[in-house]
């Protein structure tokens, strides 16, 4: 089992993931490729505050659509708990999905 990197080491996580991807693509020396990528990221973004969303907009939209499709009028709290969001937030998602539907 791999050591878990703490969330305060994002560059270590990026380097680890880059190394794994390099291995997947058959790169001869994945560690060097990963270190090079990290160096380039630091060169271009070093010192900047970068926000990394948990989901892409498309994934979020699919999840919202799934919630709307599963909502039956009586399961608001169950869905909110399942998707780990508040009932209020789920109501807003459902309201937006009703407006977007033709």
The pLDDT score that the predictor gives to residue 57 is: 86
The pLDDT score that the predictor gives to residue 1 is: 43
Under 8 Å between Cβ of 88 and 95? no
Q: How far apart are CA 47 and CA 52, in angstroms?
A: 15
The pLDDT score that the predictor gives to residue 23 is: 94
The pLDDT score that the predictor gives to residue 36 is: 94
What is the block-wise mean pLDDT of the chain (102 residues), using blocks of 10 residues? 58 92 93 93 90 84 94 96 96 88 56
Structure tokens belonging to residue 4: 């878990």
Q: What is the pTM of this model?
A: 0.50
Torsion of CA 54, 60, 63, 69, to 10 degrees: 160
**Which residues, at least 6 apart from 31, have a Cβ–Cβ distance to it below 8 Å?**
19
């Amino acid at each position: 089992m791999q050591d878990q990197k703490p969330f305060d080491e994002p560059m270590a996580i990026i380097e680890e993931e880059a190394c794994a991807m390099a291995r997947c693509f058959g790169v001869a020396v994945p560690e060097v490729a990963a270190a090079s990528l990290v160096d380039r990221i630091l060169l271009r973004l070093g010192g900047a505050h970068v926000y990394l969303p948990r989901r892409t907009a498309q994934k979020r939209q699919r999840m919202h659509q799934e919630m709307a499709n599963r909502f039956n009028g009586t399961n608001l709290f169950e869905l909110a708990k399942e998707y780990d969001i508040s009932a209020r937030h789920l109501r807003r998602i459902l309201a937006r999905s009703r407006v977007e539907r033709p």
